[in-house]
């Protein structure tokens, strides 16, 4: 659509402005223009061709004969769509048009001011949203701050301004001020977040926000299905929309396709905005995307409403965004808007686009600058004169300068706050209220670890309707009509058996075979107040979710300064000692996760501990990686009777499973039983061995370690992880560092070889630590 096309004008008195289209207030309003005003008028943009929602393939009609007017029905359908589109065009008053321009110009001037501050070494990073302003202001006008939910990316400065974020709040982020509402000085500028506006904390990895946005929308979907939650859904609206944006480069990420898949499958109200400026840093879109056009690739996703627009044209963008939002609000499914925009500046101030973009291309982009185009419309249609437009610019300039002075004078974060919000400040899972172990009365027949974990899930789901359980194969039967005819799956190890039968498919359901999808969606749900307890089927396949675990789940609370949290529980079968497990069903690399700040890591060695620790994990307020050793699932030696429904074991509390005086073994998981067997063998030789089961790896019980080392003077750290860089290295190093004066011998480690686990049993026996390896270490250390 041409910007210079004369648009139909109607008197202001006849204009109807929808509430959703009303822009967020800006701190200063433009003063009345002194020149003679034109009659107040309203614009109605020309119709925009749009792609209809994708649907299932229909039988193809035979091709029309050229000599017959077979195309007439198609023309009638097209004309009908265009008439409908014209009726749907937004009506805007003069004030709204000027407000749109003001917000767009404010966004650009904030970018320019940050660039100036960076060049003056007053801030430390800058990445701009220049060239994206029109589509983003349009998005903000079509959506509702504090009502809808927002997962932006770093170009979305204009959106945040339109939603109500102030210039000062954005500049506080640039200078890293303590009062920065985006991250309180913990993240780079343009990493948006604002609790009052429902802008969820943004991170740097491109694309991780997409699955979280889907989970956010899915939380609303499940709140509607779970009857016990309907009265508790105070922050849910029946027609809410979840906005998520991305650049053209991000569409190459697998999580983009995973997010589309789940959003379309569940018909979730997610509005995907693709801001396509043609480049991912220096890589052009035709290199990123087959055919160079993402919207053509996704058009056959079911329930997805796909539209394209010129994202530098403010009025066309607004018309398209309002239709996309309406489609979501009506519960028809997700929308996808492909907006072609420009990037007039380099990717960031760390990039120089002249190194890879020719002058001709950059000049052509400059002609499509959304500010230039929109100001031409305002002037050409006599909405405002040049002097009035300049007055708006002067007011914005003054506002930006004032906000800059305030931001530069704002206090920096107190260094003493650096450790705040790594974990929850409200719920401490190491506290006494989580310790009901001592007085617990056990009853019933002894059950395996699988039995007691399953019982914990049943009792906790009955207690708290916010708990949802999902993952691969965790449901009894996804096709509910067959539940009466089949026994049910309930997980590959049967740990989640009968949960779906008891609590329904709204709370227990299968996921796609995509680990990032599981964790990303869980983060979005937890952000909204649900309590996801998800399963990664094997520890060996957790790695596709590592991005979501390390860069999102664990860091969300800290990076937002405590404003956002996601207390997800991730259950994971782990470990070897299963004949035939081999390389990809025997992994045990727990040290990779215990070094992640913000993540609790729990590893029970018997059925009773598994029950109590899982209950603590579910009731605590932090993300928890709950590791369940596959070899221990059904061992007779670790069975237990059933504890009461409030049985809990606090994190960071080790258990002395065998008293001794000559030396100590500090261990966890499958090595607990092997250490006990070795200790009994050593007793026959007159060696008294104490065995400590850590149970909790992050946090771990340093007091128990200190006490046992001071008692015996000699220590072995035994674990299933590889020897080099394994979990035991940290324990051994700290003992040597802080307890050296109590040691009568060097700290020994017993661990797996620095290889992978092999399939052949005789190789597995050599690779993984056995009873004989522990016994040998005991004998050598005793004789030191």
CB 452 within 8 A of CB 642: yes
Rounded to whole angstroms, how far apart are CA atoms 92 and 390? 21
Structure tokens at 313: 């044209």
CB 139 within 8 A of CB 318: no
Annotation says 631 is catalytic: no
Computed on alpha carbons and rounded to an integer, the radius of gyration of the chain in Å comes to: 30
| First vs last C-alpha separation in the chain | 85
The set of long-range contacts for 455-459, using a CB threshold of 8 Å and a minimum separation of 24, is 455/611, 455/642, 456/610, 456/611, 456/614, 456/615, 456/618, 457/495, 457/496, 457/499, 457/533, 457/614, 458/498, 458/499, 458/502, 459/615, 459/645
Rounded to whole angstroms, how far apart are CA atoms 18 and 11? 16
Structure tokens at 397: 């300039």
CB 176 within 8 A of CB 413: yes
Instruction: Give the count of beta carbons closer than 10 Å to the beta carbon of residue 422.
Output: 15
Rounded to whole angstroms, how far apart are CA atoms 538 and 574? 6
Q: What sign does the CA torsion over 87, 377, 154, 181 have?
A: negative
CA distances from 736 to 663, 697, 721, 730, 768 (A): 15, 19, 20, 10, 25
**Given 338, 585, 629, 719, the catalytic residue:** 585
Q: What sign does the CA torsion over 98, 99, 104, 108 have?
A: positive
Rounded to whole angstroms, how far apart are CA atoms 331 and 232? 21
Q: With 0-12 CB in 10 A as exposed, 13-18 as middle and 19+ as buried, what is 411? A: exposed
Say whether the peptide bond before residue 518 is cis (omega within 30 degrees of 0): no
Please, what is the Cα angle at 643 between 641 and 648, to 5 degrees?
135
DSSP string, 378-418: HHHTTSS-HHHHHHHHHHHHHHHHHHHHHHHTSPPPPGGGT
SS3 of residue 367 by DSSP: helix
Q: What sign does the CA torsion over 669, 671, 674, 679 have?
A: negative
Rounded to whole angstroms, how far apart are CA atoms 456 and 495? 10
CA distances from 775 to 57, 225, 329, 605, 689 (A): 67, 56, 66, 20, 10
Enumerate residues 6+ apart whose C-beta is below 8 A from 19. Answer: 144
Rounded to whole angstroms, how far apart are CA atoms 606 and 610? 6
The set of long-range contacts for 181-184, using a CB threshold of 8 Å and a minimum separation of 24, is 181/563, 183/559, 183/560, 183/561, 184/413, 184/560, 184/561, 184/563
Strand pairing of 149-151 and 242-247? parallel
CB 224 within 8 A of CB 238: yes
Give the residue numbers marked as catalytic: 585
């Amino acid at each position: 659509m041409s910007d210079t096309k004369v648009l139909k004008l109607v008197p202001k008195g006849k204009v109807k402005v929808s509430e959703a289209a009303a822009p967020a207030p800006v701190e200063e309003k433009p003063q009345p223009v002194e020149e003679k005003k034109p009659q107040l008028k309203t614009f109605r943009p020309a119709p925009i061709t749009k792609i209809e929602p994708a649907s299932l393939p229909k039988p193809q009609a035979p091709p029309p004969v050229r000599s017959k007017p077979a195309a007439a029905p198609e023309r009638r359908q097209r004309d009908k769509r265009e008439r409908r589109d014209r009726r749907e065009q937004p009506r805007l008053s003069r004030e709204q048009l000027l407000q749109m321009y003001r917000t767009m110009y404010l966004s650009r001037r904030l970018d320019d001011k940050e660039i100036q501050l960076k060049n003056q070494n007053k801030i430390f990073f800058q990445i701009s949203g220049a060239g994206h302003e029109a589509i983003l202001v349009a998005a903000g006008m079509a959506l509702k701050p504090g009502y809808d939910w927002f997962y932006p990316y770093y170009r979305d400065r204009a959106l945040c301004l339109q939603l109500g974020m102030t210039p000062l709040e954005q500049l506080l982020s640039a200078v890293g001020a303590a009062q920065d509402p985006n991250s309180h000085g913990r993240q780079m500028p343009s990493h948006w977040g604002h609790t009052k506006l429902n802008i969820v904390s943004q991170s740097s990895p491109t694309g991780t926000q997409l699955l979280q946005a889907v989970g956010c929308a899915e939380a609303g979907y499940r709140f509607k299905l779970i009857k016990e939650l309907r009265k508790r859904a105070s922050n849910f609206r029946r027609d809410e929309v979840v906005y998520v944006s991305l650049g053209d480069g991000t569409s190459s990420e697998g999580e983009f396709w995973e997010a589309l898949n789940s959003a379309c499958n569940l018909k979730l109200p997610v509005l995907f905005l693709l801001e396509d400026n043609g480049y991912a840093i220096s890589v052009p879109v035709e290199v990123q995307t087959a055919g160079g056009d993402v919207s053509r690739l996704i058009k056959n996703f079911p329930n997805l409403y796909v539209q394209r627009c010129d994202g530098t044209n403010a009025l066309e963008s607004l018309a398209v965004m309002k239709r996309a939002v309406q489609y979501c609000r009506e519960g028809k499914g997700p929308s996808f808007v492909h907006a072609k925009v420009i990037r007039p500046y380099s990717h960031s101030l760390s990039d120089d686009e002249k190194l890879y973009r020719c002058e001709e291309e950059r000049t052509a982009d400059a002609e499509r600058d959304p500010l230039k185009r929109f100001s031409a419309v305002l002037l050409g249609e006599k909405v405002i004169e040049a002097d009035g437009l300049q007055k708006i610019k002067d007011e914005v300039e003054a506002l930006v300068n004032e906000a800059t002075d305030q931001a530069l004078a704002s206090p920096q974060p107190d260094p003493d706050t650096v450790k705040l919000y790594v974990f929850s400040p409200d719920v401490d899972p190491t506290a006494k209220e989580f310790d009901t172990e001592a007085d617990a009365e056990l009853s019933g027949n002894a059950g395996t670890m699988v039995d007691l974990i399953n019982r914990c899930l049943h009792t906790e789901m009955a207690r708290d309707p916010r708990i949802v359980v999902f993952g691969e194969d965790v449901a009894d039967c996804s096709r509910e009509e067959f539940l009466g005819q089949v026994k049910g799956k309930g997980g590959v190890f049967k740990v989640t058996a009968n949960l779906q039968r008891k609590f329904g498919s709204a709370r227990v359901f299968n996921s796609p075979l995509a680990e990032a999808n599981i964790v990303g969606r869980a983060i979005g749900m937890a952000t909204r107040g649900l309590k996801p307890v998800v399963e990664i089927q094997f520890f060996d396949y957790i790695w596709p979710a590592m991005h979501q675990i390390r860069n999102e789940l664990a860091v969300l609370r800290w990076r937002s300064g405590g404003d956002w949290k996601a207390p997800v529980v991730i259950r994971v079968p782990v470990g070897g000692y299963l004949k035939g497990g081999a390389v990809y069903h025997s992994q045990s690399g727990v040290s990779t996760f215990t070094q992640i700040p913000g993540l609790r890591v729990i590893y029970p060695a018997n059925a009773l501990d598994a029950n109590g620790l899982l209950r603590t994990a579910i009731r605590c307020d932090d993300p928890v990686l709950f590791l369940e050793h596959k070899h221990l699932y059904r061992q007779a030696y670790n069975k237990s009777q059933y504890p009461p429904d409030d049985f809990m074991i606090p994190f960071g509390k080790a258990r002395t499973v065998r008293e001794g005086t000559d030396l100590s073994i500090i261990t966890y998981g499958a090595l607990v039983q092997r250490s006990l067997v070795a200790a009994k063998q050593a007793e026959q030789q007159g060696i008294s061995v104490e065995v400590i089961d850590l149970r909790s790896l992050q946090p771990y019980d340093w007091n128990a370690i200190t006490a046992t080392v001071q008692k015996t003077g000699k220590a072995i750290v035994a674990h299933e992880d590889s020897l080099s860089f394994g979990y035991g290295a940290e324990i051994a190093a700290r003992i040597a560092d802080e307890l050296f004066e109590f040691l009568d011998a060097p700290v020994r480690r017993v661990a797996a070889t620095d290889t992978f686990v092999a399939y052949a049993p005789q190789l597995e026996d050599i690779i993984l630590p056995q009873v004989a390896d522990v016994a040998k270490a005991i004998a050598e250390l005793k004789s030191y």
